[in-house]
Amino acid sequence: GIHAAYLDGIGHRAGLRTIVIDDLAERDLPVDLIVNPNHAPPRERYARANELRLGLRYALLRKEFAQARETVRPVGASVESILVTLGATDPHNLTPTVLEGLSALPFAGEVVVVIGDENQHRAELEGAVSLLPKARLAVGLRDMAAAMAAVDLVVTAASTTTLEAMCLGRPTLALITADNQRRGAAALARDKAIWLLDAALDSAAITGALRELIADAERRIDMSRTARALVDGRGPARAAA
């Protein structure tokens, strides 16, 4: 990573304004501006920065999410469609585990599985998708905002994709797929903005979480309201102000 001494040199010797987007909060960086869009990041970690943009108000989402948010339908009493995406490449190959967990439920609705063109597990996923009655594989999807806005529930990594789903008010089952996701996702779960799975990422845990979420309309509706209130899609404009 970039060392503090390097950043200090840029700012003081080269006379350049230094801005860092940081989601780890592990180092005190000597820069002009730090943007950390995680939920409730520790402000005390950044004593050497001149300015701070901290929290979900500064979530750096693409403009199509702010646009889709204006017309997205509210969460209803039933779950008729689910979107599953664990990142373009899904390096831990967790998508088959999610689909296995989903297949154990009496769910007859639509399932959209989104992967990137470079995903190395496409053949395996095509087989897994074929076992679900109304599932389809979307490869290299270009408009994630529209795809998310059209479903009732999202299963994804506890990453920026979770913030995208929150912006649209989609109830979200978030999975920890990297250590740097844990602090921010735990804070979101405490505020009941998402349902979080951390330690047990097996199909049985996913089945249990999905069963509860699908059955509990009140929880999903409350989750949607909380999520929309926390992430409004205007983070990039605030960060740049």
Residue-wise pLDDT tens digits, 164-181? 999 999 999 999 999 889
**What is the amino acid identity at position 56?**
L
Q: Where are the alpha helices (DSSP H) in the chain?
A: 4-12, 63-69, 95-103, 122-130, 144-149, 160-167, 182-190, 203-215, 217-230, 235-240
**What is the amino acid identity at position 120?**
Q
pTM: 0.92
The closest of 97, 128, 108, 113 to 207, measured between CA atoms, is 97
111, 135 Cβ separation under 8 angstroms: yes
Chain CA centroid to CA 131, Å: 26
pLDDT for res 40: 86
> Buried (b) or exposed (e) across 70-101, using 16+ Cβ within 10 A?
eebeebeeebeebbbbbbeebeeebbbbbbbb
The closest of 111, 113, 109 to 90, measured between CA atoms, is 113
Cα dihedral across residues 147, 107, 204, 169: positive or negative: positive
Query: Which stretches of the chain score pLDDT less than 70?
Result: 1-4, 6-9, 11-14
Helix (H) or strand (E) holding 135: strand 135-139
Q: Which two tokens stand for residue 12?
A: 């003081």
Q: Is 36 exposed, middle or buried (0-12, 13-18, 19+ CB in 10 A)?
A: buried
pLDDT for res 18: 87
Using DSSP's 3-state secondary structure scheme, residue 47 falls into: coil
pLDDT for res 194: 98
119, 125 Cβ separation under 8 angstroms: yes
Q: Measured between alpha carbons, how far is residue 128 from residues 47, 134, 158, 227 in Å?
A: 49, 12, 23, 30
Q: Which two tokens stand for residue 176?
A: 């920890």
Q: Measured between alpha carbons, how far is residue 66 from residues 4, 70, 92, 145, 233 in Å?
A: 34, 7, 30, 9, 4
